[in-house]
Amino acid sequence: MWKQTVGATMIAVTLAATSGSAAATPAPDGGTAATADGTTDGGLSWAARLLGRQPLPAGDGWAAEGTGTTGGAAATPEQVHVVANRAELVAALGGDNATNRGNATPKIIYVRGVVDGFEGPDGTVLDCSDLADPEYSLPAYLAAYDPAVWGRLAPSGPLEAARVRSVTNQTRQTQINVGPNTTIVGLRGARLTGLTLMLDGAHNTIVRNLTFDDARDCFPAWSPTDGAAGNWNSQYDQISVRRSEHVWIDHNTFTDGDNPDSSQPVHLGRPYQVHDGSLDVTHTASLVTVSYNRFVGRDKVMLIGSSNTVGPDVGRLKVSLHHNLFDGVLQRLPRVRFGQVDVWNNHYRLAGDGFEYAIGVGVQSAVVAEHNFFNLGADVAVDDLLYDWGGTAVTTRGNWVRAAGDRARPVDLVGAYNAAHEPDLAPDAGWTPTLRRGPVLPAPAVPAVVGALAGADRLPL
């Protein structure tokens, strides 16, 4: 009977996840006509044309609040682009990376193949040495700021200033600025490597069906007072959402590619951290839906709210996460400050000595985590799934866990945390989510559905 129920819910959620692809907002020119081979002018399939104009379905998370999220659905034919390199991507976004964030013209951008953020104007792929300030070198930096020499003080002086100038060079090159009313869709196999999609003030934006890998920082900062022994901190997320509303991030895959953190050297006694987050929502951003994505083999995944300071973020940072896979990742799944964040029907596969926590309960956060499924390796304890970052309450209902060597069973995440940690977290975040599209699955059905549908290259393109 249970298997029949799971099977029925899988069918229902599959239809819900893909139904929007079958019908989309018509193009301003009256639509496109498919040829006999299923393609239209520009080499785009009929399905790709429809997907590019698909809005976020009604009721699908916080991004559906109010006016909803349509991205570039209103784009004229002249504002529909297919891009295959960095220069073409920048041109499609408006033409000048320095000012593209202000380009509010509706636009649809299809990515074909691999776009490398380190690609120079002549098509040559740059490396970190090409972006370094002439007065910066890592060996000199390590020698100057070794705690045995410099002490536990923040770096300053000519070498640190040269590092900051190097960061400025890299930001100009690898941070791709996106403006409002934009849809970016990856065609099959599309990949963005070595870059950050910066959605700063990018209201009404959709990003779908892309693989992001290795948004590496060439010039990490040494922070000697971060933790007991100091830490290296990097700057670049794969997607950064700031000061934006109505953003839909759907069916993407986030990895470090062939440059994982585990392969980095140790400098000044600490791992040399060259990656930051996968998808951070900060600086008063709000009304964001994150659905059907895969986060694989990364350390820091999702930060919602970047400061404990009580101020503009209060009442903002409203984010929905559903049907995502968190696979072999270590922390921030998500970590939340201030926001009302709805975490439901996600699948967590967590293991490894480096695992820290899944859901971080931060200052004035209001997280609701319901009907999620957790697969835990032998070195991950149930009481470590939550972490108190200065919060006071979190709602958890209907979640299940399968610990190593055990059968799947319901779990009270707050009860497990409180049994092992002080102070206790209260079990009620104080609000009830209403923006959930499609059936809410019982947690045991989540792994099969998310495994089949989450990530890039699973949409009908």
Strand pairing class (286-291; 245-250): parallel
C-alpha distance across the termini of the chain, in Å: 35
Bridge partners of 376, per DSSP, are: 350
User: 362, 359, 200, 388: which is closest to 284 by C-alpha?
Assistant: 200
* 232, 267 contact by CB (below 8 A): yes
For residue 245 the two structure tokens come to 């509303």
Q: Are 362 and 389 in contact (CB under 8 A)?
A: yes
Full strand arrangement of the beta sheet holding 373-376: 114-116, 191-193, 211-213, 253-255, 294-296, 325-327, 347-350, 373-376, 400-402, 409-410
In angstroms, rounded to a whole number, what is the distance separating the alpha carbons of residues 225 and 360? 21
418: which residues sit within 8 A by CB, 6+ positions away?
424, 425
Helices (H), 76-209: 86-92, 128-131, 138-145, 147-150, 158-174
Residue 153: exposure state from Cβ atoms within 10 A (0-12, 13-18, ≥19): exposed
332 classed as catalytic? yes
From 332, 337, 349, 436, the catalytic residue? 332
| Residue 171 tokens, joined | 């930001």
Contact between residue 2 and residue 444 where contact means Cβ atoms under 8 Å apart: yes
- Give the number of residues written for the chain: 461
Let me know the angle formed at the C-alpha of 266 by 265 and 270, rounded to the nearest 5 degrees: 140
The answer to whether 412 touches 388, Cβ cutoff 8 Å, is no
Q: How far is CA 441 from CA 344, 436, 453, in A?
A: 9, 11, 14
145 vs 158: CA distance, rounded Å: 12
- Pairing of β 286-291 and β 319-322: parallel
Whole-number Å distance between alpha carbons of 58 and 436: 9
What are residue 198's DSSP bridge partners? 177, 240
Q: Is 253:279 a contact under the CB 8 Å cutoff? A: no
Catalytic residues: 332
